Amino acid sequence: MESPNNKTNLALAQILKQELPGNRLREGDVTDVALLKKTSREAFFDLGKFGTGLVYGAEFLNAKDMLRDLAVGAHLPAKVIDLDGERGYTELSLAEAGKQRLWQQVQELADNGEIIKMKVLGSNSGGLTGNILDLKAFLPLSQLSNEHYSKLTEGDRQKSIDELKKFVGEEVSVKVINVNPRNNKLIVSEREILATNVKELLSRYEVGQVVDGLVSGLADFGIFIRFVDNPQIEGLVHISEIDHRLIENPKEVMKLNEPVKVKIIDIREGRVFLSLKALKPNPWENIEEKYKAAQDVSGKVYKFNPFGATIDLEGGFQGMIHVSEFGSVEEMKQQLTVGETYAFTIESIKLEEKRIALKLKK
């Protein structure tokens, strides 16, 4: 049974909690406390003018390791979870206070733009996971550096997942870009490390400008080009901007460290998009000088697809022969071989669609 003096002290503590404007505790506050007493099931803490706090039940179990070596009088942060808790004491959480302090620390990292190391602990189809100050962090695909992003395979989810698994166990340099303790989300970025400096460097360039570059990366979806005059800047030539004809694999036309001239076609959000195609003559502008409907031509089979086959023609043009010419994809592959040259007849030319329809020469 509690003594009258203890009851009086608790009552006074409640009055102080309620009647000190600007100096009252609120649920969710993190405050400094000092250990008064601990037992095998609960611990009491000095809250100063706000009376006594209590850690018990699940909160006591969550903080058991923390409390084991804690001496009477020792100070530590605690989170207020209930002002009118068990037996009138202010109920506290030590584990939640520690976590809240960690969230505050990562927010400071974000505010200061600090570069930190994160060990990659896992991967999924969306990116990489790791820990920052014991909090789970996520590095999305869109926030990978160009160097790491170039290793992925656009359009092939399984290959990209396999590539991401190779990062597990490695350390990557990142910046914290999004802190959301309410949803337990911590987002980091590799790309942002260079973003500020790169944005400043990119301000010296404009759309339409032609620059010298070196091939710094080859991916299924395009070619990464590093600027010769500013090696910190790396731009992307998407596969659709490599040539006027269809390119199946950028490795067919480029190799690492090859010097190239590229045209800037877009600059946005600290990224620069480039084109090789824009610096090449467009063969479609003079196609009528080269080809006409009903004309017999020779062409090399470039690739098969579910609708037919793409055929390379002279002059940088490509035509398409529909699978219906053969009956099925299997029959088409029996009659045609990739890399071999055959005789065709131009069935039609659709200039607005940049399309040449072919059929086998009879």
Domain ranges of the chain: 4-99, 113-194, 204-279, 287-360
Q: What does the pLDDT read at residue 77?
A: 84
The label of the residue with tokens 């698994």 reads 165
Q: What does the pLDDT read at residue 154?
A: 57
Q: What does the pLDDT read at residue 150?
A: 66
pLDDT, tens digit (0-9, with 9 covering 90-100), for 257-305: 899 999 999 998 778 999 999 999 888 888 888 889 999 999 999 989 8
Residues in Cβ contact with 131 at an 8 Å cutoff, skipping those fewer than 6 apart: 118, 119, 121, 137
Q: What does the pLDDT read at residue 195?
A: 65
Q: What does the pLDDT read at residue 159?
A: 75
Q: Which CATH superfamily is domain 4-99 in?
A: Nucleic acid-binding proteins (2.40.50.140)
DSSP, collapsed to helix, strand or coil, labels residue 77 as strand
pLDDT, tens digit (0-9, with 9 covering 90-100), for 76-85: 888 888 888 7
CA distance 230 to 202: 9
Mean pLDDT of 242-254: 87
The label of the residue with tokens 């793409």 reads 310
Mean pLDDT of 8-34: 61
Q: Is the pLDDT of residue 225 over 50?
A: yes
Choose the CATH number for 204-279 among 3.40.1190.20, 2.120.10.30, 2.40.50.140, 3.40.50.300.
Answer: 2.40.50.140
Instruction: Tally DSSP H helices, then E strands, for the chain.
Output: 8, 20
**Which amino acid belongs to residue 13?**
A
* The token pair that represents 77 in the structure block: 């942060």
Mean pLDDT of 158-169: 84
Per the CB < 8 A criterion, the answer to whether 200 and 219 are in contact is: no
Per the CB < 8 A criterion, the answer to whether 82 and 29 are in contact is: no
Q: Is the pLDDT of residue 52 over 70?
A: yes
pLDDT, tens digit (0-9, with 9 covering 90-100), for 31-42: 888 999 989 899
DSSP state of 280: S
Per the CB < 8 A criterion, the answer to whether 75 and 94 are in contact is: no
What is the value of pTM for the model shown?
Answer: 0.51
**What is the rounded average pLDDT for all residues in the chain?**
84
Share of the chain above pLDDT 70, in %: 90
Domains 4-99 and 287-360 share a fold: yes
Residues in Cβ contact with 194 at an 8 Å cutoff, skipping those fewer than 6 apart: 145, 232
pLDDT, tens digit (0-9, with 9 covering 90-100), for 309-337: 999 998 888 999 999 999 898 999 999 99
Q: Which CATH superfamily is domain 287-360 in?
A: Nucleic acid-binding proteins (2.40.50.140)
Per-position b or e across 232-269, b if 16+ CB within 10 A of its CB? ebbbbbbbebbebbebeebeeebeeeeebebbbbebee
Residues in Cβ contact with 298 at an 8 Å cutoff, skipping those fewer than 6 apart: 314, 341, 342, 343, 344
Choose the CATH number for 113-194 among 2.40.50.140, 3.60.21.70, 1.10.40.50, 1.20.120.140.
Answer: 2.40.50.140
Mean pLDDT of 340-351: 91
